[in-house]
Structure 1
């Protein structure tokens, strides 16, 4: 066992004793950025399958598959990222374990299409390939926690993680390979998710040191990077839609509006996500991290759904599909509304204050809802699309024309309160 830290290159293995929570200049590592690439691909498959399911009028099965697959992708990423924030040694063993987890993500992504198809065709859930990939990722995570358990300081916490992850994987094997009815599968899967979600809560509370030594600025950056990666799906959805429109109409007003609105939507969602910097509050109030971290799953899923909904626009112009405008606008509007509400909820949780200037924030919810009404009334797609876009754009305008002062004051109060109480 080597703890060599001098020189420019690492050699051998390093003990996972935990990193400093106040380490200066802590940023995402090149390995973490490489790790994120496979998740970008997985989100791409997820969004494409979701859009296809809606296009063939199998909305509810596609939605169920989207939530199930998306939750698996996000949960695997969350577990790795929090572990790496606390224990990343960047030695050869850590890198190989990371590579194994990346392979698991690829297998999971390959299994998404059969899982979507089985639900859309009313067949038993074909989730064996997807679950196999998920288990590969989680077993690799067990290996990482066993290494961390060699540290006496974090031994009890690490072993609790090992037990909880292992129990959940036994459950997933049963879900995937034991013949059950649809209702039985759903109940078993729900129990597995309960174990998965409660595992970190139990493990962190059993810690003798107040929790694992995750770094607030590092983990905030990691989440923001996944948000940006997920926003890539809105760009892909815009390109897919624009290709279909230009193939049918050439460079028309519709194609220009689709491209402009798609990129503007991507930018507006990005802008609103970064309105409140999370790291200073997480540094002052580490106890708020669980809800913040888990709540982001809704944000990531909503962004992916926006990307899939933009992809649907192309189906409106596909003569073989005849996708109704109201279906596309409803999918897009609901996704934007859920995203906006999730952002508000996360901000309120961190600052312990309701969103300021609520009258200026309401358009982000009301305008997308209005767009659905306009689509039902038969107004053109381009107009409804712009009305949906006006929601998040309105939030950006409200922020830049003075709303930032209220958010800035909230941030200062939250950080000051943490400094005063020592939270």
Structure 2
């Protein structure tokens, strides 16, 4: 039985315990649940921690360390969210046990967030690893429960997920014992192994999990909103701090305006197409889902870049104007390219529409050399990108960008 939100429930209140069975991939009116929204909200803390660490590294003139640390810590945040979201799309029972186990995962997320500064600055992954242990024990128990309620190929898939996730968590132990120079290489290997678990579980003698296309598209969209919201908050805090200590209002207002235009454009560009229509099978959905590491990571980094540009303009960052400008334009250009590659190109018609985002990415990179006007010009490029997309789409398709 389902309620108006497409969420199964036998009555007004969630059952204490019910058999965990796969949900219907074609279930009508499937939407994100309050528990999923709460889970997403707790990730704001982790995203903010990764972004703040990136700002400090870039502003102090350590881009290599900053970028490497950001790529690793943001992956740990994003992958924890991915693990839960795809499972819940296929097996959310909304009984009391499911809710309690999900709340345990949320506790693990908060531990993970607390450990990000240590991991970023000192390659000390102990707290992050422990946070993952909490999340992973909960997730494995969910997969074992799904396997207990299934038979045949579906049961094998659930047990393979449980085994794969457990093995990966053991592999991450290397981050606690290897010397610091070796940790990024282990991270690359383990990230690849982690992302191979779904293929291991669902191919061969396994069975595809019954994730819901519209639900998955909505879940990714909601996480994108959270990341963009954190970007707005970070940029706003940076402007406020600068105004409190510096009266350079004429310098900061164009930066604030340009940053806001850029974030508005990023929102418009991402949500311009009904991507759930593209997610027909694992082949499309997994490539699309994995590609969001670049989409979400670059979106969060835009806010960090705006903070760095403001700190440089007010004399708080010991880097050049060019380096501060690149902190904005590089993630913005990457966002444009990654959104086009994994998301919007599936709904573009003709060469002109297909070229809008790649050309805009090049134009944004060119703004790197505009000095203090970089943030404003980048935002204006974003506005032109949206306007061009809307105009071309009106001529060629029913969608608006």
Q: Does 1:276 align with 2:266?
A: no
Mapped contact 1:234–1:306 kept (Cα < 8 A) = yes
Render the CA deviation track for 1:348-380: whole Å, top value 9, x for unaligned: 6745977643454444112212111233xxxxx
Mapped partners of 2:359, 2:300: distance in 1: 22
Of 284-293 and 53-62, the range deviating more from structure 2: 284-293
Mapped partners of 1:319, 1:384: distance in 2: 17
1:56-135 matches, within 5 Å, as 56-118=60-122, 125-135=123-133
> Deviation of residue 226 (structure 1)?
0.3
Q: TM-score, normalised by structure 2?
A: 0.91
Mapped partners of 2:240, 2:255: distance in 1: 10
Match of 1:170 in 2: 170
- Give unmatched runs, 5+ long, in structure 2: 1-7
User: 374, 378, 387: which is aligned to 2:370?
Assistant: 374
Aligned residue pairs total 392
> Deviation of residue 114 (structure 1)?
1.1
Render the CA deviation track for 1:205-262: whole Å, top value 9, x for unaligned: 14654x0010000000000000000001221222122113312443722232232222
Match of 2:257 in 1: 260
> Deviation of residue 276 (structure 1)?
1.8
User: 239, 258, 278: which is aligned to 2:236?
Assistant: 239
Mapped contact 1:361–1:394 kept (Cα < 8 A) = no
**C-alpha spacing 1:258/1:373, structure 2 compared with 1 (3 Å):** closer
Q: TM-score, normalised by structure 1?
A: 0.87
Of 290-299 and 383-392, the range deviating more from structure 2: 383-392
Mapped partners of 1:410, 1:347: distance in 2: 15
Mapped contact 1:344–1:355 kept (Cα < 8 A) = no
Mapped partners of 1:355, 1:106: distance in 2: 45
1:13-412 matches, within 5 Å, as 13-118=17-122, 125-150=123-148, 151-153=150-152, 154-176=154-176, 178=177, 180-206=178-204, 208-209=206-207, 211-250=208-247, 252-282=249-279, 284-347=280-343, 350=346, 356-358=352-354, 360-375=356-371, 381=372, 383-406=373-396, 408=398
**RMSD of the alignment, in Å?**
2.3
Mapped contact 1:16–1:87 kept (Cα < 8 A) = yes
1:2-13 matches, within 5 Å, as 5-13=9-17
> Deviation of residue 104 (structure 1)?
1.0
Mapped partners of 1:7, 1:226: distance in 2: 29
> Deviation of residue 16 (structure 1)?
1.3
Render the CA deviation track for 1:157-193: whole Å, top value 9, x for unaligned: 00110111111111112322x2x23343333333322
> Deviation of residue 23 (structure 1)?
1.0
